[in-house]
Amino acid sequence: MTVTAIVGANWGDEGKGKVTDMMAAASSYVVRYQGGSNAGHTIINPFGKFALRMLPSGVFYSNVVNVIGPGVAVDIEVLLHELESLTVRGVPAPQLRISERAQIVLPVHRLLDELEENRLGGRSFGSTKRGIAPFYSDKYAKLGIQISGLFNKAYLRERLENLLESKNILLRHLYGQSTIQVEEWLAKLSEQAEAIAPYLCDTTALLHNAYRNGEGILLEGQLGALRDPDHGIYPFTTSSSTLAGYASVGAGLPPYSIEKIVAVTKAYSSCVGAGPFVVEMEDSKGDELRSRGGDAGEYGAVTGRPRRVGWFDAVATRYGCRIQGATSVALTNLDVLGYLDEIPVCVGYEIGGEVVDEFPYQDKLSLAKPVYKQFPGWKCDISQITKLEGLPEAARDYIDYIESELGVGITTVSVGPNREQVILRQSQVHRG
């Protein structure tokens, strides 16, 4: 068995949850290594439909150990609610392990996130207001609180006082809000610490042992390559690295342990949040694609916001696969396009009268206009097809073209939201 990272090639919302859920059946561990409750992974299985925000996507398999690594922004309130919701809906209690080194999202992080987005108004970055940017800001300013610190009350009080000293100045003088006293949080945090105590362990040692024993490990990324703060559409990014290159850090594994990187992308484009989105359709065609997309329309798993939609963007996706270091691609939502006579694919960007096929930096990206190539549609329902040869020729040609544009083999094709609606494919691209 190997260590495999499952990551997004685009803006997020690519279908990583389904791919992880599918691959978890043959794995021993599923690991969340970054991000927090700001983005959800939608999974449909025999238990029902779920939008997981904190829990890894392997929680529906009793044989899988689900790990929340040290790189994750742990919102304990959301985590406990998700665990409870699984029990209520008849899902057996999952095997869950949480890193003692992971840091916690505090109520003030969520509050500051919301206040700042409201202050910015039309200049906002499309935050989900789950406290992620303030959390990571505190983490790297050395103001954060690790989970292990919840069990030492004197230490916890000191850390909270240090953190609130600057936060209260912001609340009072920038946002006109009441200040926060340490006592308001201590009892609640102690309750939360007691609730998660059974799940805590040294997850780094756990995963190193699993790796040495050759057990299968899936590393589950959140959001997508274009939301990475270093390589994405900054400043319209998230606050943690969304790349497979960070997975070893956030999970606590050696960098050489990751042998496979599966980049997930939709057969068209979707995006939640602000920022440049070259292929966006804001007309009736976009409305129709949005209503037909996903499993019940294209709406954010956490926010419920309508996703911005467009045709497949080969320029952005090729770039996303490159910076992810993808060894293979999972193409999702191919069935959605079955209503179209013709299917456009963005093959270049026109910028200042010149057509480019490399993803540009921010200033040029805001000026880009999509250049499309048209492909014939297949005009039929493919959601029940289980083998590649069963697909219409036009659908196979569409897959082949996207693969040739990306330069990475498409080995998995999803034709519906359910776990079993997947076609495995032999890639035509040979690495090396």
For residue 112, which amino acid is it? L
The answer to whether residues 74 and 87 touch, using CB atoms and an 8 Å cutoff, is no
Q: Are strands 308-310 and 269-271 parallel, antiparallel or unpaired?
A: antiparallel
If you count them, how many residues does the chain have? Answer: 432
The answer to whether residues 267 and 258 touch, using CB atoms and an 8 Å cutoff, is no
Q: Which residues are catalytic?
A: 13, 41
Which backbone phi and psi does 193 adopt, to 5 degrees? -60, -45
Closest to 70 (Cα-Cα) out of 206, 173, 189, 177: 206
Residues paired with 404 in a beta bridge: none
